[in-house]
Amino acid sequence: MLPVPHPSSAAIALSDAQQVLSVLSGLAVGFTLGLIGGGGSILAVPLLLYLVGYPNPHVVIGTTALAVSANAYINLIPHARAGNVRWRDGVVFALVGAAAAFVGSSLGKAVDGKKLLFLFAILMLVIAGLMLRPRRAAHAQDVTAEHATRGRTIKLIVAAALVGTLSGFFGIGGGFLIVPGLVLSTGMSMISAIGTSLFSVGTFGLTTALNYARSGLLDWTVAGLYIGGGVVGGVVGSRVATHLGRSGKGTLNVIFAALVAVVAVYMLYRNLSAV
């Protein structure tokens, strides 16, 4: 059983306004997870740091990892009902990635919090650019588990290991890495990658959160507020994603890249202005 962190090591007293902002932040995170399968931590980390005003970057990473994990598992349900989840690929990606996420999160705890956030923002900009590049895989027909090949499985495992390590290191659910990883390694459509990614997002986030909780770097109260707001946002986001994904116009790719880029620029601005 994991030790519950002492208030002095993690939790802080939140004002009423901060509690409301935590719930609203969770709503935005849940909506984003439901809409694009990723971006939960991309929003969760800066919102908790800059909007809610939480002072400790490492506690923010551990806390948002737990909240994103819970919301990802919840948002998986409507996507599964809509037929957007490829379970075999999702399970393989999650198991391999979770092991890698544990290693990555152990490395991340040893790095200065501000440096971690700066590197996180740079990585986000790179991913945003890659998602805007035209890809044949984005137009490919879905490949089901029955037609999986050995080469395809190897590519899936390699992608999962890489994404899992980065996810744990930066303390993120990793959805904005998992979605392109699934598309490139399996050839599945964007909407299928979004739905399938949520299983891995939940598993990666839970692995990271438990590792941070062992070190007392998790605020359970804030995590609960985030999760509460995320349930509502996730229901709306998943419905919008299913509608846009079936339109076949690439709208989800543009939304995905734009969100990542905007938040990355803001995080870089905050980090550089603090120097």
Give the chain's mean pLDDT: 79
Q: What burial class does residue 270 get, using C-beta atoms within 10 Å of its C-beta: 0-12 exposed, 13-18 middle, 19+ buried?
A: middle
d(CA 73, CA 203): 8
Cα–Cα nearest to 63, from 74, 49, 77: 49
Angle (CA) 44-194-78 rounded to 5° is: 90
* Residue type at position 203: T
Asked whether residue 241 carries a pLDDT value surpassing 60, the answer given is yes
- What pLDDT is stored for residue 174 in this prediction? 65
Q: Which of 135-149, 160-174, 214-228 has the highest mean pLDDT?
A: 214-228
d(CA 202, CA 179): 13
Whole-model pTM?
Answer: 0.72
Q: What contacts 179, CB < 8 A, 6 or more positions away?
A: 36, 37, 38, 190, 193, 194, 197, 256
d(CA 152, CA 231): 34
d(CA 24, CA 229): 6
Q: What is the 3-state secondary structure (H, E, C) of the chain?
A: CCCCCCCCCCCCCCCHHHHHHHHHHHHHHHHHHHHHCCCHHHHHHHHHHHHCCCCCHHHHHHHHHHHHHHHHHHHHHHHHHCCCCCHHHHHHHHHHHHHHHHHHHHHHCCCCHHHHHHHHHHHHHHHHHHHHCCCHHHHCCCCCHHHCCHHHHHHHHHHHHHHHHHHHHHCCCCHHHHHHHHHHHHCCCHHHHHHHHHHHHHHHHHHHHHHHHHCCCCCHHHHHHHHHHHHHHHHHHHHHHHHHHCCCCCHHHHHHHHHHHHHHHHHHHHHHHCC
Cα–Cα nearest to 155, from 176, 185, 131: 185
Q: Which of 93-102, 128-137, 166-175, 219-228 shows the lowest mean pLDDT across its residues? A: 128-137
> Domain map of the chain by residue range?
16-273
Structure tokens at 5: 């962190």
Cα–Cα nearest to 46, from 107, 120, 102, 115: 120
Mean pLDDT of 129-147: 54
d(CA 110, CA 92): 28
Asked whether residue 23 carries a pLDDT value surpassing 90, the answer given is yes
Q: Give the confidence band of 139 by pLDDT, cuts at 50, 70, 90.
A: very low
- Do the Cβ atoms of 40 and 33 come closer than 8 Å? yes
| pLDDT greater at residue 247 or residue 129 | 129
Mean pLDDT of 165-184: 75
Residue located via tokens 């699934």: 182
Give me the percent of the chain exceeding a pLDDT of 90: 15
- What pLDDT is stored for residue 275 in this prediction? 54
Q: Which of 5-14, 165-174, 238-247 shows the lowest mean pLDDT across its residues? A: 5-14
Cα–Cα nearest to 264, from 60, 138, 144, 120: 120
